[in-house]
Chains A and B, each alone.
Chain A
Amino acid sequence: NAGVTQTPKFRVLKTGQSMTLLCAQDMNHEYMYWYRQDPGMGLRLIHYSVGEGTTAKGEVPDGYNVSRLKKQNFLLGLESAAPSQTSVYFCASSKSSTGELFFGEGSRLTVL
């Protein structure tokens, strides 16, 4: 049972490059989320989706875009990477709006 799968797991970018992180879940969950984790700051919500075709901004959306064209996939894009976006990114999904989240293993992104 795969659960939530994130790709890639590691990536190094140069400032100004673009990339997309892919999150896939096989649990038929309605809700999906992208968080970033930074030392001493916990997890901060970047964007989230309450269903296919819908997205919404979280606490720290600037510099990121998302899309949810299919229910099982939630993509996080960086159009022009900056060193401040060096972080570990976590995708999560939930079957209901109760806060019980299932997490992927994370994607470590370094922007030089």
Chain B
Amino acid sequence: GEDVEQSLFLSVREGDSSVINCTYTDSSSTYLYWYKQEPGAGLQLLTYIFSNMDMKQDQRLTVLLNKKDKHLSLRIADTQTGDSAIYFCAAFKGGYQKVTFGTGTKLQVIP
């Protein structure tokens, strides 16, 4: 089955850019997602990218997809303390109605 991997922790200074990386194993995944989890809360969808796209930009967020290497990244520009959270990468394969999540990357923003 699908396997999604992320590093566990990232620390950045306020105002810098953050880049969170993710790798997945199933090249037939059709949608790739980034979810954000704030302390004590459920996950909320941040952004997503279709597998036939290379890049998607949404305000401060930029998603890059390298299908050849099965690598996904999320760049947060001008990182703020409110961006401190756990970020989950997720992969979805059409027809199976299942989403596979990575381990989550805890982003710490230092003021």
Contact surface of A with B, Cβ cutoff 8 Å: 4, 31, 33, 35, 40-45, 48, 50, 58-59, 90, 92, 97-106
Contacts and interface: CB of A to CB of B under 8 A. Distances in A.
Interface string B26-62: 0000110101000011111100100000000000000
Contact of A103 (B40, B44, B100, B103): B44
10 contacts: A4-B42, A44-B101, A92-B43, A97-B94, A100-B48, A102-B45, A103-B43, A105-B40, A105-B41, A105-B42
B33 A41 contact: no
B99 A99 contact: yes
List the 8 shortest-distance A-B pairs measured between CB atoms, nearest first.
A99-B92, A103-B42, A42-B103, A43-B101, A99-B99, A103-B43, A97-B97, A42-B101
Contacts of B45: 100-102
A62 B25 CA distance: 25
B90 to A, nearest CB: 7
